[in-house]
């Protein structure tokens, strides 16, 4: 085989003086990093769910029932002290189960106050929800009219509005914390399997399971595409070209997923799938699971009783 002359020449020597400066990471590199992060996070959260701990040992069905029950209880509680007392107990159980405290706290409290806070913000003012003024922001000395709307002369933050807002943010945050603790301590597959027991249609569960399964296959395919491009990227590509690459990568991935779906269907058909899903039964509950469920029910009842007593 005869090679063209240019193919026999040596590549240009490497410049070692660093005169080229430093190029900023482009968005392709950032996308690549994010793809790898997705895989790492999924593997890491699975690793947390496999750690030996109290919550991890519990049957997923018990955890799902407890979650639904405790969500109702938390949202029936009208006392902040009870809510936060419950939250501290939840945190203690999470820590004793080797769940990363930072993740449990940060995932919730960095996001919830912001979004829920924006929603409840108007309701803390007396112009939206009348109440006892706690902090007067402005006094206009006469009531204001805007079309058919009439506003009091004083704009103030009300104590009812403020406490209502804090209560709502607390309820939402603690409810989300419950869900975070459940998802961190339970493997996604066990969680889906638990849903099978609650009359969620089998085909729906199977579709979710397969979606989760193939996300990883497609994410890996995407990672390979981005790495292959990175391997040939000498830093000369313009943003326009990079955007074009991302668009074609999306198209390519769509084609691959389509081809894969056909192969998966064949694989299912070859093993007897004809439209009806049959699945193995989950393992039976052990006495410790039932005991924990009883304790959760009891704790919920105590919270409700305490709420009544406190008025």
Partner 1 sequence: MKGDLCLDEIFDILNVSYSYLPGYPVLSGISLSIKKGEGLVILGANGSGKSTLLKMLCGLIHPEEGKILAFGKELTEDALRDPKFLQDFRQKVGFVFQNSDAQLFSATVRDELAFAPLQAGLPKETVQKRVTDIAQLVGIGNLLDRAPYKLSGGEKKKVALACVLTVNPEVLFLDEPTNGLDPRTQFWLVEFLQALQTAGKTVIMATHDLSIVEELAQRVIIFRENHTIAADGAPLQVLTNRQLLLEVNLIHERSHFHLGGSRQHG
Would you tell me which residues interact with partner 1 (CB under 8 A)? 43, 46, 189, 192-193, 209-210, 212-214, 216-217, 220, 260, 263-264, 266-274, 276, 278-281
The answer to whether 188 touches 63, Cβ cutoff 8 Å, is no
Q: Radius of gyration of the chain from Cα atoms?
A: 28
Q: Which residues of 175-197 are buried (b: 16+ CB within 10 A; e: fewer)?
A: bbbbebbbbbbbbbebbbbbbbe
Closest distance between partner 1 and the C-beta of residue 59, in Å? 14
Q: Which two tokens stand for residue 252?
A: 């390519």
Dist CA 85 CA 83 (whole Å): 5
Q: Is 213 exposed, middle or buried (0-12, 13-18, 19+ CB in 10 A)?
A: exposed
Please identify, using beta-carbon distances, which residue of 27 and 265 lies nearer to partner 1: 265
Closest distance between partner 1 and the C-beta of residue 262, in Å? 9
Closest distance between partner 1 and the C-beta of residue 268, in Å? 7
The answer to whether 154 touches 133, Cβ cutoff 8 Å, is yes
Closest distance between partner 1 and the C-beta of residue 292, in Å? 22
Closest distance between partner 1 and the C-beta of residue 307, in Å? 40
Please identify, using beta-carbon distances, which residue of 12 and 272 lies nearer to partner 1: 272
Q: Is 291 exposed, middle or buried (0-12, 13-18, 19+ CB in 10 A)?
A: exposed
Please identify, using beta-carbon distances, which residue of 168 and 218 lies nearer to partner 1: 218
Please identify, using beta-carbon distances, which residue of 2 and 241 lies nearer to partner 1: 2
Please identify, using beta-carbon distances, which residue of 46 and 139 lies nearer to partner 1: 46
Please identify, using beta-carbon distances, which residue of 135 and 266 lies nearer to partner 1: 266
Dist CA 131 CA 65 (whole Å): 39
Closest distance between partner 1 and the C-beta of residue 64, in Å? 16
The answer to whether 159 touches 132, Cβ cutoff 8 Å, is yes
């Amino acid at each position: 085989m005869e090679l063209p002359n240019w193919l026999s020449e040596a590549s240009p020597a490497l410049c070692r003086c660093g005169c080229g400066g430093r190029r900023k990471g482009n968005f392709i590199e950032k996308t690549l990093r994010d793809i790898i992060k997705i895989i790492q996070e999924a593997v890491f959260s699975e690793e947390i769910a496999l750690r030996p701990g109290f919550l991890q040992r519990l049957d997923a069905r018990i955890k799902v029932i407890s979650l639904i029950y405790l969500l109702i209880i938390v949202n029936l509680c009208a006392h902040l002290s009870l809510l936060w007392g419950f939250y501290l107990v939840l945190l203690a159980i999470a820590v004793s189960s080797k769940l990363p405290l930072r993740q449990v706290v940060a995932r919730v409290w960095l996001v919830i106050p912001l979004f829920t806070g924006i929603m409840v913000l108007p309701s803390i003012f007396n112009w939206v929800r009348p109440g006892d003024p706690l902090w007067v922001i402005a006094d206009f000395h006469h009531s204001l009219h805007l079309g058919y709307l009439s506003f009091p002369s004083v704009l103030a933050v009300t104590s009812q509005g403020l406490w209502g807002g804090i209560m709502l943010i607390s309820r939402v945050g603690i409810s989300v914390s419950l869900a975070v603790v459940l998802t961190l301590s339970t493997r996604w597959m066990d969680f889906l399997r638990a849903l099978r027991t609650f009359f969620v249609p089998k085909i729906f569960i199977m579709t979710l399971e397969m979606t989760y399964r193939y996300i990883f296959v497609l994410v890996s395919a995407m990672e390979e595409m981005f790495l292959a491009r990175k391997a040939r990227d000498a830093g000369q590509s313009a943003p326009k070209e990079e955007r074009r690459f991302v668009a074609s990568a999306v198209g390519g991935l769509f084609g691959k997923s389509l081809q894969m779906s056909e192969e998966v269907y064949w694989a299912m058909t070859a093993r007897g799938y004809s439209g009806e899903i049959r699945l193995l039964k989950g393992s039976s509950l052990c006495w410790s699971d039932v005991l924990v469920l009883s304790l959760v029910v009891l704790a919920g009842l105590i919270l409700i009783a305490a709420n009544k007593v406190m008025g």
